[in-house]
Structure 1
Amino acid sequence: MNGIENYLGFLLAGIIMNLTPGADSIYIITRSIAQGKKAGIYSVLGIGSGAVIHIILAAFGLSVLLAKSIILFTIVKWTGAAYLIYLGIRMLMDKSNLFDREKAEFKKVDLWKIYREGFLTNVLNPKIAIFFLSLLPQFIKPEHVNSAIPFLILGGTFLLTGTIWCLFLAYSASFMTDTLRKNDKIGKIMKKVSGYVFIGLGIQLLIKRN
């Protein structure tokens, strides 16, 4: 099938990978709990867009540069970590109530901001690029490794299953916290927790081995 072998095996592996909690899952859950279903959906769209970039890079071999260049990998890694820590600090410094009912209906600029943050969270994580580069070739026939088509098909499959799972996370997290949104005190606590989560993710990205 277009140079792909053991497609069902890849599908199963992809689903298992998607179910494994990671920075993207935590980001989506945090946004959904804090700001509701719409924010969660835009987070998913942003992260999905970031994954598209990684898939294209893997398909056309550009991720090899990232995998082989320690300097480039380190620059991207530190940039991504710094961005996550920045998001966390900004949430800790913001004194407004995270569950303010008057802000329930987001403006377009707010939704774009949430989308952009999700996109950058994903695309600035070099480990995702390495993941695609190491996983996809395992399911491509040797004579087709120089073709972008099997990479795009497998990447698209992984993106589809991942998006379905992420949307489920967004809807579930939002649904389970609807009652909490009516409590101002919990809203302030959740903002602090969300800030520390983002800072923790950034630090984890820095200290985790390549």
Structure 2
Amino acid sequence: MPDLPHLLAFIAAGWLLNLTPGLDVLYVVTNSLRSGVRAGIVAGLGITAGCFVHIFAAAIGVGTLMATSAAAFTVLKYIGAAYLLYLGVRMVLSRPAPPPDLGRAAAAGGEQRSLKAIFLGGFWTNVLNPKVALFFLAFVPQFIAPGADDKALYFVLLGVLFNLNAIPVNVGWAVAADWMARRGAVQKGMHWLDRAAGVLFIGFGLKLAFTDAPAVRVGH
């Protein structure tokens, strides 16, 4: 493991990266705006679960395969892009939801299913995005000493630490979005916010679809 100064630098860098608005933040904020802070937190946990898949896959070599095989990267890239496009189109075409309080009360019986769908949405959004795997392959090894005996173990430990540190950030985004949703002006424009978020998801999907496999150096 890195020494204390490098470990603190790793944690700080992770927080800064998680605070940067992107696909994950958009997913958390959108669900929190629509369905409340609980849904936003569940969305963040789904994203975290998806990141764990990439962490362990990278540690056993799957991530390295995607970084070095254009075919493997392309297959996952198009699957991920299609999924993002599906989410975006569904949001753009969604019907206006009932007022938050009435909607949540009316949906109380189906809340568990809704939260499950939100969790799985965040999970698959990450699992099907090869750029997440390449991010971990590029970022985490910088904090592993070249002479470390078990680099795979250190990779997993640092990846888990990065993921756990992301949870309070995602909770913060969910709480902030839920606070905004309680303001009258935001409630009135909720449907248009859904459409705007859907357009952004479509943009992320198209961007991923036209992304070339980058040359990522693995190992030391």
Give me the TM-score of the superposition, normalised by structure 1. Answer: 0.89
* Equivalent residue, structure 2, for 1:189: 192
1:109, 1:148 → 2: CA distance? Answer: 37
Letter aligned with residue 75 of structure 1:
V
1:8, 1:156 → 2: CA distance? Answer: 15
Taking structure 1 as reference, are residues 174 and 75 closer, same or farther at Cα in structure 2, changes over 3 Å only? same
Q: How does 1:1-210 map to 2 (within 5 A)?
A: 1=1, 4-5=2-3, 6-97=6-97, 99=99, 101-104=101-104, 105=108, 107-144=111-148, 146-180=150-184, 183=187, 185-210=188-213
Letter aligned with residue 203 of structure 1:
L
Give the Å deviation of 1:145.
6.3
Moved more, 68-77 or 174-183: 174-183
Taking structure 1 as reference, are residues 93 and 136 closer, same or farther at Cα in structure 2, changes over 3 Å only? same
1:58–1:129 CA contact under 8 A, matched in 2: yes
Count, aligned residues: 207
1:182, 1:29 → 2: CA distance? Answer: 13
1:146, 1:121 → 2: CA distance? Answer: 30
1:19–1:165 CA contact under 8 A, matched in 2: yes
Q: Percent identity?
A: 38
1:145, 1:61 → 2: CA distance? Answer: 17
Taking structure 1 as reference, are residues 203 and 98 closer, same or farther at Cα in structure 2, changes over 3 Å only? farther
Give the Å deviation of 1:75.
1.0
Letter aligned with residue 103 of structure 1:
G
Taking structure 1 as reference, are residues 182 and 208 closer, same or farther at Cα in structure 2, changes over 3 Å only? closer
Q: Look up the SS of the partner of 1:107 in the other structure.
A: helix
Q: Look up the SS of the partner of 2:189 in the other structure.
A: helix
Give the Å deviation of 1:14.
1.6
Moved more, 90-99 or 42-51: 90-99
Letter aligned with residue 51 of structure 2:
A
Letter aligned with residue 102 of structure 2:
E
- Cα deviation, 1:55-113, whole Å, max 9, x if unaligned, reads 11122222101111111101111111110110111122232426454331452111100
2:197, 2:98 → 1: CA distance? Answer: 10
Q: Look up the SS of the partner of 2:21 in the other structure.
A: coil
Consecutive aligned runs of 4 or more in structure 1 exceeding 4 Å deviation: none
2:175, 2:21 → 1: CA distance? Answer: 16
Taking structure 1 as reference, are residues 87 and 161 closer, same or farther at Cα in structure 2, changes over 3 Å only? same
2:184, 2:123 → 1: CA distance? Answer: 27
Q: Look up the SS of the partner of 2:147 in the other structure.
A: helix
Give me the TM-score of the superposition, normalised by structure 2. Answer: 0.85
Taking structure 1 as reference, are residues 178 and 12 closer, same or farther at Cα in structure 2, changes over 3 Å only? same
Q: Look up the SS of the partner of 1:81 in the other structure.
A: helix
Structure 1: 5+ residue runs without aligned partners? Answer: none
Q: Look up the SS of the partner of 1:97 in the other structure.
A: coil
